[in-house]
Amino acid sequence: MTDTHPSLPLPSHQRGVTLIELMVGMVIGLLAVLVIAQVTTVYEGRKRTITAGSDAQVNGALALQTLQRDVQTSGYGIAEGGAVGCRMVGLRTGMAARFERTLAPVVITNGLDGTTDRLDVLMSNHTDFALPTRVANNHLRGDSLFVIGYNTGLGHRSGDLMLAVPVPTPDPGDTERHCSLFNVSAEPVPGSHRIAHEANAGSPWNQDTTATIFPGRQSTDLSYPAGSLLLNLGSLVSRQYCVTGPADAQCDTRAAAVPYQLRQISFETATGQTVVDDLYPQIVQLQAVYGIDTSTPPDNVADAWTASSPTTAANWRRVVAVRVAVAARSVQSEQRPASQTSAGATWTTPTLPVWHPDGVTPEPLRVDKAPPGAGDDWRHYRYKVFETVIPLRNQLWQPT
């Protein structure tokens, strides 16, 4: 019998993956995973470094801008009539101690041994004319009103915070004379020549004659001679800028304070309370110096720079600018293995950053005192330094 179906072809020989091929494929795959992981690690490290550097740059720039804004407007309403340099004294009802400040746009408290400085800023926020009023008659310690020239009390309102300035302006260290804060206790009568400062419920900065902070010892003592000035502050703006840190004597530290950030401490004259605001993190240095006009006659140009505060009213009037430097630190620690550092590998920041107190000569910023730890820990971080000169405009506009 003949087979009519053609013969089917035999299936070809099938071969599987050998063990060697499988092992080679696994090695190639592992190498690819290793390379990808290494690239990802390097990328993430670089990204964190760039991000941390960017954060430091933003924090430092904002911190300097905040300081610059307040310093530029400092002295408004308090620099008129040559009053700068006087020791300002006030006592508000309910306060345990006197409120005392040097009457100056900016006062620098120099940090010891390279630690951060502190800036105290004063200004008036009176919305009316910032013009002084001249006292017409002698004012005794026990008097309850100031006699002024007719029709010179424009803009004074009940409750306004005023400052009495004796003439000539006393030096900050004068123990017998000073400037006094008080409230206008009653709405001045239009056309009158009297400003009352009686102690009442609406005038918390006024004390009775037994507790008044006006100069003198007895009620009959001369407190403010004719010719003295009255400055209408509206309400006083008193702000302090400092850098927080563990047990830092230059800054008001709270129990839950986060170290190393710019802090603003405001004294509210309307309430007698202190308000603390933490502004920008990772600020590790704040340094400032005064710009002094040494020319005779004065030309309102800073010829010398110093960190020491003036000791006389005349020298305070020669302060025309402030130079400020702020150092911000990245939050990312780029610590290298001990084997690398001991072999002499370069640090992230090998030397201290610098600023220029006189505009020319570099001086180290002691950021090594700020980061946690000791020794060379500060070298593991990156730093951004911002530096500028801020003219004291309300000082420059005064007649020389």
Q: Let me know if residue 4 belongs to a domain.
A: no
On whether the CB atoms of residues 346 and 24 are closer than 8 A, the answer is: no
Which of the four pLDDT bands, split at 50, 70 and 90, describes residue 361? very high
pLDDT of the residue at 343: 44
If asked whether residues 281 and 329 sit together in one domain, one would say yes
Query: Do 258 and 377 share a structural domain?
Result: yes
pLDDT at 96: 83
pTM: 0.82
| 400/94: higher pLDDT | 94
3-state secondary structure of 283: strand
Q: What is the mean pLDDT of residues 375-391?
A: 87
**Average pLDDT of 61-79?**
90
Domain boundary residue, one of 234, 266, 281: 234
- In this prediction, residues 372-392 reach a mean pLDDT of 83
Contact 80, 398 (CB under 8 A): yes
In this structure, the answer to whether residues 189 and 246 fall within a common structural domain is: no
Q: Does residue 319 register a pLDDT over 50?
A: yes
Together in a domain, 153 and 301: no
Task: Find how far residue 125's CA is from the centre of its chain.
Answer: 18
- Is pLDDT above 60 for 340? no
Tokens of 44: 């993430």
200 and 252 housed in the same domain: no
**Statement: residue 337 has pLDDT above 80:** no
Rounded mean pLDDT, 2-14: 58
- What was the pLDDT predicted at 354? 93
Question: Is residue 283 within 8 Å of residue 261, measured between CB atoms?
Answer: yes
pLDDT above 90 covers a percentage of the chain that reads: 35
- Domain presence at residue 244: yes
213 close to 180: Cβ distance less than 8 angstroms:
yes
Of 214, 234, 254, which residue is a domain's last? 234
Report yes or no on 102 lying in a domain.
no
113 and 201 both lie in a single domain: no
Which of 234, 258, 286 is the endpoint of a domain?
Answer: 234
What is the structure's pLDDT at 139?
A: 93
**Residue 1, pLDDT above cutoff 90:** no
- Establish if 243 belongs to a structural domain: yes
Share in percent of the chain as helix, strand, coil (round to 5): 20, 30, 50
What CA dihedral angle connects 29, 30, 35 and 40, to 10 degrees?
A: 100
What is the per-residue pLDDT for 344?
47
Res 10: pLDDT: 57
Domain count, the chain: 2
- Looking at the structure, tell me whether residues 217 and 173 fall in a common domain: yes
Single-letter code of the amino acid located at 190: P
Residue 370 lies in a domain: yes
Q: Are residues 113 and 168 in the same domain?
A: no
The DSSP string of 63-123 is: HHHHHHHHHHHTTTTTSGGG-TT-EEEE--TT-SS-EEEE-SSEEEEPPGGGPPPEEEEEE
The residues that bridge with 384 in the sheet, in sequence order, are 328
Indicate if 220 and 256 belong to the same structural domain: no
Give the separation between CA 106 and CA 70, rounded to whole angstroms: 10
**Same domain, residue pair 209 and 77:** no
Amino acid code (one letter) for 88:
M
In the numeric block, which tokens belong to residue 110?
A: 């120099």
Q: Is residue 380, in this structure, part of any structural domain at all?
A: yes
CA–CA gap between residue 102 and residue 323 (Å, rounded): 19
* 364 shares its domain with 275: yes
Same domain flag for 188 and 265:
no
Task: Return the structure tokens found at 178.
Answer: 């000073």
Distance in angstroms between the alpha carbons of the first and the last residue of the chain = 137
- Lowest mean pLDDT segment, chosen from 19-33, 58-72, 122-136, 360-374: 360-374
In a domain, 247, yes or no: yes
Task: Please check whether residue 30 lies inside any domain of the structure.
Answer: no
Q: Quote the pLDDT of residue 286.
A: 93
The domain in which residue 219 lies consists of 126-234
